[in-house]
Amino acid sequence: MLEYLGFTQPAATIYNAVNHLLLHAKTLTPDLGGKSSTDEVTDAIIKQLK
């Protein structure tokens, strides 16, 4: 949605943070084979963005 609204750089930054977590499989929810809660995944994404 951010890309659609013209915010391409913030969209790419968020995409890269999520992609990093998925590739390194450190913090994943059970549906992705992990044991983390959605709060823990959200915190990990925010940490990656900083």
- Given a contact cutoff of 8 angstroms between Cβ atoms, the answer to whether 28 and 21 are in contact is yes
According to DSSP H, which parts of the chain are helical? 8-24, 38-49
What would the two tokens of residue 20 be? 């990093």
Least confident of 1-10, 13-22, 23-32, 34-43: 23-32
Q: How far is CA 18 from CA 15, 26, 34, in A?
A: 5, 11, 15
Domain hosting 34: range is: 2-48
Note the pLDDT of residue 17. 93
Instruction: Please tell me which of 5-9, 29-33, 44-48 the model is most confident about, judged by mean pLDDT.
Output: 5-9
Note the pLDDT of residue 3. 95
Number of domains in the chain: 1
Distance CA 10, CA 34 (A): 27
- What does pTM read for this prediction? 0.76
**Which pLDDT tens digit goes with each residue over 26-44?**
889 999 999 999 999 999 9
